[in-house]
């Protein structure tokens, strides 16, 4: 971050960076168990006082779980806030000895799919969603020394952007961070280098994406995975991190798609539909661990209200 010292930044950027440093201190100072308890209480504060993207979350839950009652969704929403409060603290304290050990000793299934892809020499397209403690994936890859790369969207605040990049590299440098500004050539290069290229697919790509069904509605998904598959013939592998009973696990699985002989909207849609469908069972089974806050299906179609009684009850 030395190059940043020579630049001047708006006060709001400096304030945001200062808040990140405070959270980092709070996460690192106490024991892991105390820090994670604080994270869950942070989630409680969001539920009771500052319900971050509550309207979007409830709208998304209506689509995914049309048969759940309002009470069930409210209870789930509170648990989601608690879980992601804890995940925030885990990310900020990932390089603590206890967390480093937890990541290093993760229970990993399906690693053979990844190893077999490396043997082909064409790399692999690792599709994932914002699920569990997904930031631990980069840490695990770095600790294991797995040649990999991840696509990330730079933040507007260069101070915060540099902070997160530095934190993500605390465990090593085998994972190369590729900015979305670098584009498809950089992604293809990573695959030609026989790297595992991580791409999060659970965000709305709007007009730039392709329309595919996801749960009980249609959304727009980025075309990148299908395009890269067509251009490089890299294997598409799904990955899902889980956090249960204070333990981290990582699961790799094949995503079987039809061969792409001609690249067009139809073949791209077919590929991305299979990709998205492969994650539905994970979200259904572990709903508290998915990040419900993205506008995956657009803006809510109605206003979701909470009474004081519901806030205190759930």
Q: Tokens at residue 8, please?
A: 């001047």
* CA-to-CA separations, 88 to 14, 40, 85, in angstroms, rounded: 20, 10, 5
Average pLDDT over residues 220-242: 97
Average pLDDT over residues 207-232: 96
What is the helix, strand, coil percentage profile of the chain, to 5? 55, 15, 30
pLDDT digits (tens, 9 = 90+) for 298-313: 999 999 999 999 999 9
Average pLDDT over residues 5-22: 87
Average pLDDT over residues 110-139: 96
Q: Residue 6: its pLDDT value, please? A: 57
Q: Which residues pair with 175 in a beta bridge?
A: 148
Query: Where are the chain's structural domains?
Result: 2-313
Q: CA-to-CA distance for 94 and 169, rounded, in angstroms? A: 11
Is the CB of residue 251 less than 8 Å from the CB of residue 109? yes
Is 60 exceeded by the pLDDT of residue 289? yes
Q: CA-to-CA distance for 284 and 39, rounded, in angstroms? A: 24
Is 80 exceeded by the pLDDT of residue 3? no
pLDDT digits (tens, 9 = 90+) for 65-109: 999 999 999 999 999 999 999 999 999 999 999 999 999 999 999
pLDDT bracket for residue 7 (50, 70, 90): confident
């Amino acid at each position: 971050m030395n190059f940043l010292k020579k630049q001047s930044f708006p006060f709001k950027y400096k304030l945001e960076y200062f808040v990140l440093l405070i959270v980092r201190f709070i996460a690192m100072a106490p024991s892991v168990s105390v820090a994670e308890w604080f994270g869950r209480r942070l989630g409680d504060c969001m539920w009771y006082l500052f319900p971050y993207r509550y309207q979007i979350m409830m709208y998304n839950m209506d689509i995914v779980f049309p048969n759940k009652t309002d009470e069930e969704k409210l209870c789930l929403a509170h648990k989601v806030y608690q879980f992601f409060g804890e995940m925030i603290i885990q990310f900020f304290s990932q390089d603590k000895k206890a967390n480093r050990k937890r990541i290093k000793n993760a229970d990993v299934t399906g690693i053979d799919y990844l190893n077999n892809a490396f043997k082909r020499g064409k790399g692999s397209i690792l599709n994932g969603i914002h699920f569990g403690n997904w930031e631990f994936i980069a840490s695990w890859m770095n600790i294991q020394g797995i040649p990999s790369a991840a696509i990330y969207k730079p933040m507007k605040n260069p101070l915060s952007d540099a902070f997160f990049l530095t934190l993500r590299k605390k465990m090593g440098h085998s994972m190369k961070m590729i900015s979305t500004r670098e584009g498809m050539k950089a992604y293809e290069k990573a695959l030609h280098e026989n790297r595992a290229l991580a791409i999060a697919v659970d965000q709305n790509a709007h007009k730039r994406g392709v329309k595919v069904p996801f749960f009980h509605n249609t959304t727009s998904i980025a075309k990148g995975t299908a395009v890269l598959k067509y251009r490089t013939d890299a294997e598409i592998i799904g990955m899902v991190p889980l956090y249960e009973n204070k333990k981290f696990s990582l699961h790799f699985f094949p995503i079987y798609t039809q061969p792409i002989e001609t690249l067009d909207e139809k073949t791209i849609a077919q590929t991305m539909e299979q990709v998205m469908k492969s994650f539905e069972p994970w979200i259904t089974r572990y709903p508290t661990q998915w990040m419900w806050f993205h506008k995956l299906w657009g803006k809510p179609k109605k206003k979701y209200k909470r009474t004081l009684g519901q806030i205190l009850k759930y």
